[in-house]
Structures are given as structure tokens and as C-alpha cells.
Amino acid sequence: MLGLAAVIGVAGTLGGCVRNEVIGRSQLIGISQQQEIALGAQAQPQLISEMGGKVPDAEANNYVIEVGRALAATTEGQNPQLPWEFSFINSNDINAFALPGGKVFITRGLVSKMTSEAQLASVLGHEVGHVTARHTAERIGQAQMAQVGMQIGGSLLGNASATVQELGGIALQIGGAAIPLKFSRDQEIEADLLGMRYMVRAGYNPRGALEVMQILAEASGGRGGGGLGSLLATHPDPQARAERIVQELNGQYRQYTNSPNHRTGEDRFAQRMRSRLALLPEAPHGVRRAAIVRADATSTHNAQSQGYVSADAWATHLSWCGTCRADAPTLAFAGY
């Protein structure tokens, strides 16, 4: 079991303020890059299993990996050498997410809404951006700072709702540690912009980023609907994100929107993805077992009345079915 000292340090050994040239700003970083890699590697198998496993089609999985690796290769500094892995999850939920150290996940539910490779590259690029921007390490650093002056015993997660709240209210339990799964609004916008940067470098038309926002808006049918409960609970409204993306398309990426050198890849996507998914049985909905704690600022009773299970009420893995997922949509993994 990984304790707090082994994973994110203690208050007396807080990470320092480090300038990240990828995003051009300084960050309070809570863990080293090696610790990020270790956390991601430890969490990945559990997360794949609990999200329903990988899509049962080797070609579709390889296609996601191929696009993801092309994006990772365009990242800055030593980031291309991270142990990148791209997992295509057999869940009908509409989501994508990243763990620290280069572990990226995208669900079949989201991919099935797409019509082009550029759209796929946009989502994967966004998640790659979370990794290169070190957003998880930054969130842990923020949580550490909030704990200064407090006596911390045991793991970061434990049964302490307040600590999970410092991680943004939603965390993934890995042994005795917690990995924040919710990013700030600014971090999400930052990941959008990095995703556009990487997809353009990899030769994709950046309009794919705007098209993904349109897909999310249409799928939601209004905030909180259409199977987007988990995503909309932890991310800016797709419309707000789309407005910023439009600014970028009309600005620094204007020349690439009609460039013959920047592909959309509809035909490739139809052949290598849509035709493959059409042959598969329907993907399951929701998370089978969710090692997730959601902290609630109020009581357990209030948390349950809102369809959440608070950290204090959570004891072991949750067994999910369609009804449970409908009753507690915001406990699904935070992501794209």
C-alpha cells in the first residue's frame, strides 16, 4: 500500500515551484515526474478493469494507439520519451481521461460519436496535454499546500473527506494513495489549447477540436443529460470551451483550417474505426466497480440525496449496474 510519504510527500517536504516550459508558467508541483510515472503505471490496470476492459477489437485498439503515439511524438522536451500508453475502453460512457506519466484513456461511447481522425486526435491531444502540463502533480501540490500546518496521519485519501475535497472533490483510490481526477477550469482550457497544438504538429486539421465540442453539446441535450453527467460535472460547458477554440481557429491556427497538409481523415476513420465498431456488440454503460471517492462539503445525508456517495460513506468498491449509474452519474471518472 502506498502511503502519503511514498506518493505525494508530507507537508514538511512539499514540492517546489517549477517553471513548465510546455505551458509557459510556474507551477507548485507536488510530486516528481518519476512518482507521476509510478502512479500512472500502478493505476492503469485497475482503471482499465473497472471501466469495463478494452474494446474487443485489436485493429480498433491499434488505431487509437497509432494516433496517440503520433501526438505524443510532437510534445516538448523529454515528454516524447514518457511511457505513453493509449487505452480504448469498452464503455458506452462519453469520456476520456489521463493519468500522470503518460497513461491516456478514451471510451468507445465518445469515439462512436466521432466522424473523423482529426476529432479523435483532438481528444487524445487534450489528454496528452494534461500529462505534459503536469496537471495532476499541480493538483497534488495544491492539496499539499492546503494541508500545511495540519497533522496528517496515514494516506492522503484515507477517510478524510476534507483532503479529497482539496483534490477537487473526486479522486481515484490506488492502494492508500489518491490521484485527483478533476482539473480546474483553467487547466481544462489549457489542455484544449495544448491538444490543438499537438494535433496541428501531427498534421491534423484543428477544426476537429471545435467539432468535438459540438459533439459533446449535442450529446448532452442540455447540461447534465445524454450520458455526460460525469463529464459535465467536472468540466467547463462545451459551449464555453468552443468559444475559446474558435478564437484560436480565427487566430494562430487560421492558416491550418483549410490547409491540404492538415487532414481530417474521415475516410481512414470510417475504414479503421467505424466499420470495426459496427461489428461489435453494444458496449456496457457505466463503471463496473469504481474505486472513487467523492468528497461532499455537507453531510453524508445531503451527499446521498444528491446522488453522490460521500467519502465518509464509501467503504469498498461499488458494484454498478445501469440503475446505479443513473442514480449516481457524477461518480463516474472525470475526464474529457
Which three cell numbers, joined as nine digits, stand for 317?
468498491
* Burial category of 219 from C-beta neighbours within 10 Å (exposed 0-12, middle 13-18, buried 19 and up): middle
The answer to whether 166 is a known catalytic residue is no
Helix axes 185-201 and 207-220, enclosed angle (nearest 10): 130
The strand pairing partners of 180, in sequence order, are 171
Q: How far apart are the first and last CA of the chain?
A: 29
Q: How many residues does the chain have?
A: 336
Q: Which of 85, 127, 166, 188 is catalytic?
A: 127
Neighbours of 292 (CB within 10 A): 25
Beta bridge partners of 174: 177
Cα–Cα distance list, 165 to 11, 35, 274 (Å): 17, 22, 39
How far apart CA 89 and CA 47 sit, in angstroms, is 10
- Those residues with Cβ within 8 angstroms of residue 246's Cβ, 6 or more apart along the chain or in another chain: 210
* Contact indicator for 230, 330 with CB cutoff of 8 Å: yes
Show which residues are catalytic: 127
